[in-house]
Amino acid sequence: MELLQQLGTGFAVALQPGNLLYCFLGVFVGTLVGVLPGIGPVGAMSLLFPVTFKATPEAAIIMLAGIYYGAMYGGSTTSILVNIPGEAASVVTCLDGYQMARQGRAGPALGMAALGSFVGGTAAIAGLMLLAPPLSRFALRFGPPEYFSLMVLGLTILIYLAHGSMAKALLTAALGLVLGLVGLDSITAQPRLTFDRLELVDGIGLVPVVMGLFGVAEVLLNVERTLRREVFRTSIRGLLPTARDWVESRWAIVRGSLVGFFLGILPGGGAVIASFLSYALEKRLSRHPERFGRGAIEGVAAPESANNAATGGAFIPLMTLGVPPNVIMALLLGAFMVHGVQPGPLLMKQNPGLFWGVIASMYIGNLMLLVLNLPLIGIWVQVLRVPYRILFPLILLFCLIGVYSVANTVFDVYVMIVFGVVGWLMKKLEYEPAPLVLAFVLGPLLENNLRKSLILSQGQFAIFVTRPISAVCLLLAGLLLVSPLLPALGRRRQALAVEEAS
């Protein structure tokens, strides 16, 4: 009963005209960047980050969240029609989605992707609503050592799942930590690594770093060689899947939603891994696994339900613990902080309107996305036909405006360019940018909790292993770090990393 009352409060917030507009803007932009290869949800969220400065905290978070889950819907369109994933979590949808399009079944593939996304997304919101309150109460038992260890675990999982060399992923995470510490020390107010530049006293901005690594670097990668893509020319009709399609997909959707939701909660996990694992699970459970890769509709339904469910799950650690589990949630944490709101166990008590408003807006956003991605699918197919030579100058322009308008300084533009080149080099030399960004955001929090823990314990590192939650987190992190030395675990990591990289 209390839950329904709180949800009612949420809908009262989410249904305010201004918030509805921001929600629509978020899911619209999300679908757009999902459809367009070359800019992902991270880039789009940083781009619209400054737009939220003038909005209320509710509107800002509602819009940024909308971009995230909207991109999961849009990503499937390019996978199905072009065989190029609009964003990483839709890679696996290419396998069967594109084959369905080639067989003249693009309509049901797109329809099932949208409907599966809707079911997965909505189920995850219900899970978030049910799990967040008890987890928030549990999180009240967390002190500085627990927070420190949890952040170490989150970073370690992301490093573990990074494709390629783990040492390289650790290096980028370490660089992220250092960059996050630039600026005034939070305890002594001493400037660190500022090189006497006034612009660095407040630290390096999150937006220029993210836009550089994910926006400019991506454009540079596409510009360095000629990119060709052809939209599969087929008439899209009969978007609603047939009764047989439903029968074949119903359990794939249920399992995909569950896998996605729980993987989304895990720090370092997320939509990409969820989509791959749910696809692998369906293939393993199927009585006709040979159909997969040749246009099996379950191969579209499962990953699309999973990647949307993962977006809902990912909100749990951020909203209840204040710890972002992935890069996108790290950006959202930045948005919370800009608006003077601290996500964590007290968020639900101190800002019930914001907490429940965001949850309610996700129900509304999912409905909007259903409309945007079913009857209006034609618009996105047209968008896909915009050639990259027209698109990339505009992507760069949006990056420049977005970065400049955060602090109205050209310095940030230069920071973005530098990180764009660094990001391009990192891609070429097989260094993952995601651990850098998460460590960059977590760096100051990590240091703060480390120093507080040491002050609390009078300099005894034992505080991290004598407290059970902290000990478990560190034990898991330690196991993951030494895993490449253990053959069985090492092979598992390679398999997961290769899946994600492909």
What is the rounded CA–CA span in Å between residue 419 and residue 144? 32
Burial annotation 427-437 (CB, 10 A radius, 16+ → b, else e): beeebbbbbbb
404 binds another protein, rule: CB under 8 A: yes
Contact with another protein (CB under 8 A) among 413, 465, 469, 472:
413
Residue closer to another protein (CB basis): 1 or 189: 189
Residues 368-387 that bind another protein (CB under 8 A): none
- 183 sits in the region (left: phi over 0; alpha: psi -120 to 50; else beta) called left
Q: Mind spelling out the 3-state secondary structure of 335-357? A: HHHHCCCCCCCCHHHHCHHHHHH
393 binds another protein, rule: CB under 8 A: yes
**Which stretch in 13-21, 118-126, 357-365, 421-429 sits in contact with another protein by CB under 8 A?**
421-429
Shortest Å, Cβ 474 to another protein: 16
> Which stretches within 189-242 are classed as H helix?
206-210, 217-223
Instruction: Tell me, residue by residue from 163 to 192, as one string, x for binding to another protein by CB under 8 A and - for no binding.
Output: --x-xx-xx--xx-xx--x---x-xx-x-x
Q: Rounded to the nearest 5°, which phi and psi values hold at 192? A: -125, 130
Residue closer to another protein (CB basis): 6 or 457: 457
Residue closer to another protein (CB basis): 247 or 401: 401
The two tokens of residue 131 are 């799990």
Instruction: Tell me, residue by residue from 215 to 254, as one string, x for binding to another protein by CB under 8 A and - for no binding.
Output: -x--xx--xxxx----------------------------
Shortest Å, Cβ 208 to another protein: 11
Shortest Å, Cβ 87 to another protein: 22
Shortest Å, Cβ 487 to another protein: 18
450 binds another protein, rule: CB under 8 A: yes
Residue closer to another protein (CB basis): 356 or 388: 388
394 binds another protein, rule: CB under 8 A: yes
What is the rounded CA–CA span in Å between residue 127 and residue 259? 12
What is the rounded CA–CA span in Å between residue 70 and residue 85? 14
Contact with another protein (CB under 8 A) among 410, 475, 486, 495:
410
The residue type of 204 is I
Contact with another protein (CB under 8 A) among 140, 397, 495, 498:
397
What is the rounded CA–CA span in Å between residue 431 and residue 416? 18
45 binds another protein, rule: CB under 8 A: no
Q: Rounded to the nearest 5°, which phi and psi values hold at 459? A: 85, 15
**Which stretch in 248-256, 260-268, 284-292, 448-456 sits in contact with another protein by CB under 8 A?**
448-456
Shortest Å, Cβ 256 to another protein: 35
What is the rounded CA–CA span in Å between residue 142 and residue 156? 19
What is the rounded CA–CA span in Å between residue 345 and residue 324? 13
Q: Rounded to the nearest 5°, which phi and psi values hold at 257? A: -65, -45
- Residues 265, 220: contact at Cβ < 8 Å? no
What is the rounded CA–CA span in Å between residue 353 and residue 358? 8
What is the rounded CA–CA span in Å between residue 148 and residue 144? 6
**DSSP assignment letter at 18:** H
Contact with another protein (CB under 8 A) among 234, 447, 465, 472:
447
Contact with another protein (CB under 8 A) among 243, 390, 462, 488:
390
Residue closer to another protein (CB basis): 131 or 174: 174
Chain residues binding another protein by CB under 8 A are: 50-51, 54, 165, 167-168, 170-171, 174-175, 177-178, 181, 185, 187-188, 190, 192-193, 216, 219-220, 223-226, 388-390, 392-394, 396-398, 400-401, 404-405, 408, 410, 413-414, 417, 420-421, 424-425, 428-429, 431, 446-447, 450-451, 454-455, 458-461
